[in-house]
Chain A
Amino acid sequence: MSRRPGFLVYGLLIAFVLGSAAPLYWSFLLGSQTKEEASQGIPPLLPGGHFLDNAQRVLDSLPFWKALGNSLMVSTVTACSVVFFCTLAGYAFAKLRFRGSGPLMVFVIATMAVPTQLGVVPLFILMSKLGWAGSVWSVVIPWLVTAFGVFFMRQYLVDAVPDELIEAARMDGCSQIRTFLTVAVPAARPAAAILWLFTFMQVWTDFFWPLIALPPDNPTIQVALNQLQSGYFKDFSLVLAGTTLATIPLLVLFVLAGRQLVSGIMQGAVKG
């Protein structure tokens, strides 16, 4: 609504933003205190200065670097793969005429409604049979190409690539793949960046399947945090220092690319 907002609007927004940031600050706050300080009611409002000691304890009690490496590897590989295959498929659905394209697209959208968790048992059996159980590849495979990605790219490319360009390329005798590379790929870049970010985040934060698929000595970050939390004896300064460490990579990504995330959410929904 085109009005100049008043004091109340800003006040409510500030309250909301504080609420969004507070738990993260709390996590850093407790993670920077000694074990004894952290278990005593309301902490001081300023960090205690023991964050690095606690971080060191986290590194001693977990295969943290390995987990970080695994998470980075899995998220990066899947994000690149999703962008590549979904751009190809999205382009075909958006711009190429072929028999059955309508029903096939409906089918792709329908698969989005099937919860992934339904398939974990057979997926687990399959990965064991293939000999991939326990390796990070078992986490990568299910994410290589996603229905959401295909749909998202299709929605974007319908408007982003003019039909005349494709026609012209075809007249010039370009093969299909060359048309795709020279006409569609440059146009798809903004959407591809968004899709890459989203996939990276989704895979990074995924928990259920990695917990099943990976052993304790070869975890992703989320599975490693799970181990840290399962100690018999609650040591909040340790656990929250670990949580803070594990959240830092995505926070960095957020600072660098939050703008794209926002525009991505707003685009994906309008056209959906």
Chain B
Amino acid sequence: MSTSLPTRGGDTETVSPPRPPGPKGQPTGGSGRPQWRQRLSRLDHTLAPYLYISPFFLLFLVIGMFPLLYTAWVSVHDWSLLGGKGEFVGLDNYREVLQNPYFTKQLVNTISIFAISSVPQILIALVLAALLDNQLRARTAWRMSILLPFVVSPVAVAIIFGSLYGDRYGLANEILGVVGIDPVSWHTNRLASHVAIATMVNWRWTGYNALIFLAAMQAVPRELYESAAIDGAGRLRQFLSITVPMIRPTMIFVIITSTIGGLQVFAEPRLFDQTTARNGGSDRQFGTITMLIYDFGWQLRDLGRASATAWLLFLVICAFAVVNFLLIRRLGRLGTIGGRG
């Protein structure tokens, strides 16, 4: 099979020398053909890798790089969903967004929901992984059961938990009633709604993260535990002094991925909402930044402000990544992480 050479993509000039003009040097006795084939094969070996990786880069260019830059372009214009591009307005969109009281409120909500969900999630996932890191019977069955919530879509999770957290007849309030606690207004109270949404995120992701931690825990050399046991360290002490420091790189990985995901939370609060506008409660007490992007762009039909909000969200995520990084390095310098990692 002859391979078709790409006409674009790989920079052909640098790898293929210009062909020798044909009729000049007369080839002797058919040695021309093998030579030509050899050259083709060499070309195949040089160009093929670029050809194989090109789909990713082409697609990233179209739906990653280009949108990133284009978002910036849209954000400095008046740009309506229906009318398209208007005039250049500089940073006006950013000013409008930053001055909009909902921006601050929804940014605080986003961070609050993220904090309430990620800290318990990581702690519970750690404990769960430690439980699974035993010689259990039916190991695979346990691991699979832990992962069950992961196959339920965030939309479905939000609907199910929305009914569990019903203000009047929800199961959560009924149970609280049995214990003798007054019903909580999960949809109107700001903090309560954040807790409800954090529960959804945690229900879906804790098992998944526990499996990631478990994989890291299994790579910890068993001799370490044995020698610690000989030194008289109890199980908790072993966990804090050996397991946690040994899986720190994995913890960093999980923290960073859950930050990127957690700050973009959208489906859960949107479907938890029972008002008709669905912007995150009657006074946006649980609206998030991504919901604001949607609201600006597809409800108010102002793509300029939606783009400005998207860029601001990106900056927030970058800031969080930097803070995370510094925090983790700091913890690393302290030697051992205490119980409240």
Contacts and interface: CB of A to CB of B under 8 A. Distances in A.
Interface stretch (B16-24, B102-110, B130-138, B333-341): B130-138
Contacts of B111: none
Interface in B85-135: 128, 131-135
Contact of B321 (A111, A113, A208): A113
A253 B151 CA distance: 9
A187 to B, nearest CB: 16
B323 interface: no
B50 interface: yes
A98 B44 CA distance: 12
Interface in A112-141: 113-115, 117-126, 141
Given A123-B63, A269-B212, A175 B1 contact: yes
Interface in A173-209: 173, 175-178, 180, 201, 204-205, 207-208
Contacts of B152: 23-24, 247, 250
Interface stretch (B25-33, B190-198, B307-315): B307-315
B12 interface: no
A268 B207 CA distance: 15
Task: Point out which of A40, A92, A104 has the most chain B C-beta atoms below 10 A from its C-beta.
Answer: A92
B52 A175 contact: no
B48 A40 contact: no
A20 B215 contact: no
B161 interface: yes
A1 interface: yes
A258 B307 CA distance: 39
B260 interface: yes
A266 to B, nearest CB: 4
Contact of B266 (A9, A204, A207): A207
A97 B154 CA distance: 42
B154 A5 contact: no
A236 B140 contact: no
A106 interface: no
A232 B276 contact: yes
B319 interface: no
A125 B301 CA distance: 12
Contacts of A259: 140, 144
Interface in A80-109: 85-86, 88-89, 91-93, 96-98, 101, 104, 108
A38 B1 CA distance: 65
Nearest to A234: B274
A269 B253 contact: yes
A258 B68 contact: no
B328 interface: no
A175 B44 contact: yes
A226 interface: yes
Given A96-B49, A119-B71, A121-B307, A17 B313 contact: no
B284 interface: no
Contacts of A177: 1, 3, 48
Interface in B264-283: 264, 266-267, 270-271, 274, 276, 278
A93 B151 CA distance: 31
Contact of B294 (A122, A212, A239, A253): A212
Contacts of A173: 41
Contacts of B163: 26, 30, 236, 239-240
Contacts of B293: 117, 120
A177 B310 CA distance: 41
Interface in B219-233: 219, 222, 225
B156 A98 contact: no
Contact of A120 (B149, B270, B310): B310
Given A122-B70, A269-B250, A2 B222 contact: yes
Given A23-B164, A243-B160, A17 B250 contact: no
A254 B148 contact: yes
B74 A122 contact: yes
A20 B71 contact: no
B156 A243 contact: yes
A57 B50 CA distance: 53
Nearest to B48: A176
Task: Point out which of B56, B212, B270, B311 has the most chain A C-beta atoms below 10 A from its C-beta.
Answer: B56
A-B pairs with the 3 shortest C-beta distances?
Answer: A119-B67, A176-B48, A205-B153
Given A30-B163, A125-B303, 14 more contacts: A1-B222, A1-B238, A5-B136, A96-B48, A115-B264, A119-B67, A119-B68, A175-B44, A221-B153, A222-B267, A225-B155, A229-B162, A239-B163, A265-B208
22 contacts: A1-B238, A10-B136, A17-B148, A88-B55, A96-B48, A98-B50, A111-B60, A115-B317, A118-B311, A120-B297, A121-B310, A122-B74, A122-B307, A147-B56, A177-B48, A222-B155, A222-B267, A225-B156, A226-B271, A232-B276, A246-B153, A269-B250
